[in-house]
Structure 1
């Protein structure tokens, strides 16, 4: 079985006007994605941000739960932060995975649109279950990663489609749904 890594990307991100921006780190993304990552056995959850003051903010929040009062107040939260890593770029996260694993990972990005290199959840799940090459799934904040960024990598996961026409999930929700599709129990076989 291949190891799974995820990254929450804050730059380069698009805003609603199509401009390239850097988004702010949110407290809920730090907590909720760390908890989902631990639940689904993600090797590392990378918070990817290019602004040092934003990484310092995230480190302050994480320190509270890892070693501060929060670590004794809520030990489950402490466990969720064991595999969270702050890095300054997508490249740094991929290089860390390559060093840890001894081989370059398959890198998938996510988007609410389809592209020529879109891959299904079933296909990526099968790779995770049957191959040894690690997988990194990158999640964009704001209005998603730039098209150029997504085209630099191996695949783009197919969009999450709900029952209705609305399609703008929070990144926390999208991460949880995608992790369940890639690593959750095969409930359809029961």
Structure 2
């Protein structure tokens, strides 16, 4: 073996060792950049429903779940959202930001009211007349049922369920069940 080949072999081995060490450190530091955002927060809606918002895993990666249970612990509503699909959750980089966003979502951005505040759905119209930001009733909710629900003035909670809309749930006065009435759009 020539002097040149021995030197290349030794320096190649050294280069390989340096690349292995540096690559390992880069991989480890890359993992350190993705902070664990696993969080669970709780609230109460309409004085009786226990609400839990949670996410597991790295910031910006884990799905966000919402579970609403009645006073007996039975689940009334449950849904899972991707962070990129839910207003207020994209771009979060720390557990503190995630806790703040989850708390805001189920407290400050959840609006309690009554069904009489829903936009009217005039006879013969294609849907409720909500002006610039349409209201879309749930499948199976026609004009007659919708207007009857408005007249009943049921307790209602509306919460963000997308990038530009909120879902409204009504409390059934007979059995306390939560029922989806529709989606209100908002500028987003």
Specify if TM > 0.5.
no
Which has the larger Rg?
Answer: 2
Answer 1 or 2: higher relative contact order, Cα 8 Å, separation at least 6.
Answer: 1
TM-score by length of 1: 0.24
Identify, as 1 or 2, the structure richer in strand: 2
TM-score by length of 2: 0.24
